[in-house]
Amino acid sequence: MLRPSASAFNPSASIFVPNGAATRPLGGGSNFSSPEVAAIEDLLGRLSLAVKEESTPAAAKPAPKPMASVAPAGPKPAAPATGGIKIIKAGGPAAAGAPAPSGPWASGATSKGSGGIGRDKAAQEVGEYVKARGVSVLKTSGLLRKLAVMADDQNNTVAREAAMWACASLCDEAGSAVEPFMAPMLPVFLERLADKATSVRGAADAACQALARLLHPEAVPRSLPAILAGTSPSRKWQSKEGAFKMISTLCETAPDAVQAALPDIVPVVSDGMVDARDEVKVVAVAAAEAAFALAGNRDNRSLHPLLPVLHPETQGDGGSHHQAQWHDLRAGCRGPRVGSHVPPPH
């Protein structure tokens, strides 16, 4: 008898599972989960758990239960005069177990998550995984979409903080290859700087600084509008503070790009130096000093004597002369060139 011919191979056919068990399609159906997706979910889960445990204050942990009071021991029973069998009642001294452990290890709790790692290490693993697999894993695993959703989850503080730490790790560990994916998230970073949770604000500041160090000088002009928008008077003071700190960082990592953008930066930092919050004033002055200290710009050389204008309270005349020069400087910087025509202070 001839064997019947087999049917043609169908790549979309389901896997045969005996006993009528459920099948899953091979062609990327809704029930299919790639190893990359599973790995990313595991990494983000470990990071979220570590963030949750480190953000829990020690005072919120339940106090150990007090030990039960022990009744005073009665008189010791007399030993039998001669041989025989010694009977010990249940609950007597010989039946007592070993003493209960005391100290911080009594409950077996540790400061690390279920994976045995801390928050920083868990975040670092996310960046190292993307670096090892390539930036394409950001989309194939859905990591980029997951981070955007977590960062905007207003009902989950742990998710927002974990997203910020993961983004900071991607910038630090994966390198310049992730810049095109992280730079569009800059407005989200600046928004999280004013988050209601202090831990989220700290993580967002780390993400902003990591992105500022990562930005290529050619990418600074495209990211600078978002940074300057973070200093708008309508923004919260934490966002303005973080934006000015990013400008100071860019003065170190991309000085040429900052020099070219001085006509846009100088009016912004001048407004920040008269902000109602002292925290914003301090970082705005630091950003202005870093910008004016840049070398190699012919338009900027004559502005170095104007640095005392940034601290008018230190001048003998109360700063009125320097304040007038600073207003002239702002007017000159609003044009296409930096106002090198402003005379130096006497």
Cα separation of 152 and 189, whole Å?
10
Residue indicated by tokens 């480190």: 54
pLDDT attached to residue 165: 97
pLDDT attached to residue 74: 58
pLDDT attached to residue 5: 52
Enumerate the domain spans of the chain: 35-52+116-214, 216-346
Q: Is residue 264 within 8 Å of 255, Cβ to Cβ?
A: no
Cα separation of 18 and 231, whole Å?
64
In this structure, the chain runs to a length of 346
Cα separation of 240 and 245, whole Å?
9
Residue indicated by tokens 């095109």: 180
Cα separation of 334 and 339, whole Å?
8
pLDDT attached to residue 73: 58
Average pLDDT, 10 consecutive residues per value, the chain (346 residues): 48 41 40 78 94 70 54 57 52 43 35 64 95 93 95 95 97 94 96 95 96 95 95 94 96 93 91 92 93 63 48 49 52 47 41
Q: Model's pTM, two decimal places?
A: 0.65
Give the end-to-end CA distance of the chain in Å, rounded to a whole number. 111
Give per-residue burial for 103-122: e unless 16+ CB within 10 Å, then b: eeeeeeeeebbebebbbebb
What's the chain's Rg over C-alpha atoms? 32
Cα separation of 346 and 322, whole Å?
9
CATH number of 35-52+116-214: 1.25.10.10
Any alpha helices (H) in the chain, and if so which ranges? Answer: 35-55, 119-133, 137-140, 143-151, 157-169, 179-182, 186-192, 198-214, 220-229, 237-253, 255-260, 262-272, 278-292, 298-301, 320-333
pLDDT attached to residue 311: 52
Cα separation of 336 and 270, whole Å?
18
Cα separation of 284 and 89, whole Å?
79
Token couple for 100: 């209960």
Give every CB contact of residue 28 below 8 A, 6+ residues apart in sequence. none
Amino acid at the residue 174: A
pLDDT attached to residue 305: 45
pLDDT attached to residue 201: 96
Give every CB contact of residue 289 below 8 A, 6+ residues apart in sequence. 307, 310
Q: What secondary structure does DSSP assign to 206-264, as a single string?
A: HHHHHHHHH--GGGHHHHHHHHHHTT-TTS-HHHHHHHHHHHHHHHHH-HHHHHHTHHH
Cα separation of 155 and 57, whole Å?
19
